[in-house]
Chain A
Amino acid sequence: ETGVTQSPTHLIKTRGQQVTLRCSSQSGHNTVSWYQQALGQGPQFIFQYYREEENGRGNFPPRFSGLQFPNYSSELNVNALELDDSALYLCASSLSGTRSYEQYFGPGTRLTVT
């Protein structure tokens, strides 16, 4: 059983640029959630995708957007990067409709905005 993978591991971008982060969900999972974890903080929910549709969104501006593909992998896109976007971005996959309520996290992508 393949776990959740994320790429790249680390990324350095300049303020104003755009970035795309990628996530492959665990085998058999149909739902992907994205979280932002600032240094010294708990993860904050960005949004969730289920069957290629956004299925809930946290308190993040529209410049944070996402996609989910037919194979359930996902992308997180951030436009017009700001210094405060520097964080660890975590992807989690789960199987909706099973009442397991478990989310399995990837290792994260560390984004630094300078």
Chain B
Amino acid sequence: AQSVTQLGSHVSVSEGALVLLRCNYSSSVPPYLFWYVQYPNQGLQLLLKYTSAATLVKGINGFEAEFKKSETSFHLTKPSAHMSDAAEYFCAVSPGKSDKLIFGTGTRLQVFP
């Protein structure tokens, strides 16, 4: 069975600091991996996806993630946090064929001035 684990339910950074949100996956087949962002009282917006092409994936709003098979990780990073990045972030894995997404429990990012 596939699953994802997000380490740290809350992450706090200062504006301008590096953002690092951790995600580890478990999959018996090559996974498709995603990061979504959810702003308060809104749905989910796709930040980026890994679908077995380049291991370093660039997404919207300056975010990127690196697929590391040896570490079964897909951590999300952004070099410099902005106040508008404050939101809930979800890592998800998909078996691929069915498009079904399996989400982690989420990480709430707070950005302080």
Kindly provide the distance from the CB of B60 to the nearest chain A CB, expressed in whole angstroms. 12
Tell me, in angstroms, the Cα distance from A42 to B32 when the chains sit together: 18
Q: Contacts A41-B106, A90-B44: A101 and B94 contacting too (C-beta < 8 A)?
A: yes
Tell me, in angstroms, the Cα distance from A58 to B45 when the chains sit together: 22
Complex interface: chain B residues within 8 A of A56 (CB): 98, 100
Q: Is there an interface contact between B46 and A42, defined as CB atoms closer than 8 Å?
A: no
**What 1/0 flags go to B24-48 for Cβ under 8 Å of A?**
0000000010101000001111100
Complex interface: chain A residues within 8 A of B46 (CB): 102-104
**What 1/0 flags go to A83-104 for Cβ under 8 Å of B?**
0000000101010100101111
Complex interface: chain B residues within 8 A of A108 (CB): 42-43
Q: Contacts A42-B105, A42-B106: A48 and B98 contacting too (C-beta < 8 A)?
A: yes
How many contacts between A and B, using CB within 8 angstroms? 60
Complex interface: chain A residues within 8 A of B14 (CB): none
Q: Is there an interface contact between A101 and B100, defined as CB atoms closer than 8 Å?
A: no
Complex interface: chain A residues within 8 A of B7 (CB): none
Q: Is there an interface contact between B43 and A94, defined as CB atoms closer than 8 Å?
A: no
Q: Contacts A101-B32, A105-B43, A107-B43: A33 and B99 contacting too (C-beta < 8 A)?
A: yes
Q: Is there an interface contact between B96 and A45, defined as CB atoms closer than 8 Å?
A: no
Task: Report the contact-size class of chain A (Cβ under 8 Å from the partner).
Answer: 20 to 34
* Pairs of residues from A and B, 9 with the lowest C-beta to C-beta distance, nearest first: A42-B103, A105-B43, A105-B44, A107-B43, A56-B98, A43-B103, A42-B105, A108-B43, A101-B32
Interface residues of B (CB under 8 A from A): 32, 34, 36, 42-46, 49, 51, 90, 92, 94, 96, 98-106
- Give me 22 A-to-B residue pairs in the complex whose CB atoms sit less than 8 angstroms apart, sorted by A's number: A31-B99, A33-B99, A33-B101, A41-B105, A42-B90, A42-B92, A42-B103, A42-B106, A43-B44, A43-B101, A45-B102, A55-B98, A56-B98, A56-B100, A99-B51, A101-B49, A101-B99, A103-B101, A105-B36, A105-B43, A105-B44, A105-B45
A35-B101, A44-B103, A90-B44 provided; 6 other pairs, C-beta below 8 A? A41-B106, A48-B99, A55-B98, A96-B99, A108-B42, A108-B43
